[in-house]
Structures are given as C-alpha cells and as structure tokens.
Amino acid sequence: MDNILITGGSRGIGAATARVLAAKGYNVCINYHKQKHAADLLVADLLRLGVKAIAVQADVSQEQQVVNLFKTMDEQLGPLTGLVNNAGILLPQMPVEQMDAQRINRLLTTNVTSYFLCCKEAIKRMALKNGGQGGAIVNVSSAAARLGSAFEYVDYAATKGAIDTLTKGLSIEVAKEAIRVNCVRPGFIATNMHADGGEPNRLERIKSTIPMGRGGEPEEVAQAIAWLLSTEASYVTGSFTEIAGGR
C-alpha cells in the first residue's frame, strides 16, 4: 500500500490532492501548520473512502519539526512511498523596492527550506542504499517561476524558481536510488492563496490574459500530481508539468 505525505495539505491544492489520492486507494498523511480544524475535517472525509489517513501538525520550515513529522508518519501510517511538497505562503502584493529582509527571508524559509528538509527526510526512507524501496517526490512550484510576477510577488516567484532548480538537481542525485523527482507548475488556480496576497478576486481580474479564459481548479492540479506519483509515470523524472491554461 502506498503512503503519501502532503505538506500544506489542509486546503487548496494540498487538500484536493489528498482527496484524489484517497479515491485511488492511497493512504495519506496531511501535514498542516495552523489549520487544525480543516485538516481534521479532511481526514474524516478521507477515512470514509476506506483508506488510512492522519493529520500531523508541523512547521515544515523548522528542521526538528520536520524530523518529528516523518517519525509520526512512520509510526502511524507506515513506510513512506511518496512526498508532495506543497507547503507555501504568499504575502501581500508589493514591488521589490518596498520589500524588507524580514519578508524576503520568511518567504525563502517557508517556501524553499521546507522543501529541502522534507526531501532530505524522504530520501532517508526511500533510497535503495538506505534499505528503502524507492518512491516519488512531486514538488509544487508555480508558473510564477517563469513569469516573474512583476509588481506583485517577485519574491514568491523567486522561491518557486528555487524549487525548479531543486527538482532538476535532486532528480539527478537520486535517480539511481529508484526515487523519481518531478514538478508541477500551477498557474492561476482558484484557491484562498489569492486572499492571502490581498486580492481575493484576482482570478476575475486576470482571467482574460489566460489563453483558456479561466483560472484552474485545485483538482486539475491534483490529477497531475497523482499521475506523477503513480507507476504510470515510472520513467518520468526531472520533469516540469505546466498547469496554467496556456499562459
């Protein structure tokens, strides 16, 4: 049985991915930072699908909390076979000239350090040289990594650029350990993250600039993640899947 850890799994793309995976028979560990109620409700829904599911609180930018998260999953769910690095934050829109170090460092720590720390713990468990059976890692990046998000979120876009580089480099490092590392780049997706950035209706404003004329749904990203985790993608590693409506 496959056991998947999803960071930032209580809402948005993370929650949608949990539902898609559970429907396919995967056991799921939902990591959350502050949204305990949402995570618990999600777990209750997943359990009704007949799989194992748990919710574990951890700030995945903090190394010891990441170590504890993975240990808890080991004990309560079983051997890790897949990791979805999805945790991340978006801060209010502003141009670069107004950003301070505190904001920039908070984004880097939350959006980049967390991915590295979780990859490290996953490799410890999945690598053949460590007695593991291999596995798959899917990093959630963003179309912002190539678009730049000028005048709004250049710092956020830069963190996602770092995730793209992590994906490529790590995929090469662990290929012979039977670990596949891939990346999805969602575009403008209908989640609460836009409200975090100070513009809840952002999709309405920018949808005319998207070739498909609409924003995406979290489930559309989740389906791509599920495929990359599956054996159907057994020869896919170091890849980038654009889920951005053509933009």
- Provide the annotated active-site residues: 156
CA angle 78, 55, 233 (to 5 degrees): 55
Please answer whether residues 189 and 240 qualify as being in contact, where contact means their C-beta atoms are separated by less than 8 angstroms.
no
């618990």: which residue's tokens? Answer: 40
Pairwise CA distance, residues 32 & 82, whole Å: 17
SS3 state at 115: helix
SS3 state at 35: coil
Pairwise CA distance, residues 111 & 88, whole Å: 5
Please answer whether residues 192 and 165 qualify as being in contact, where contact means their C-beta atoms are separated by less than 8 angstroms.
no
Pairwise CA distance, residues 111 & 105, whole Å: 10
Return the amino acid letter for 173: E
């930018």: which residue's tokens? Answer: 61
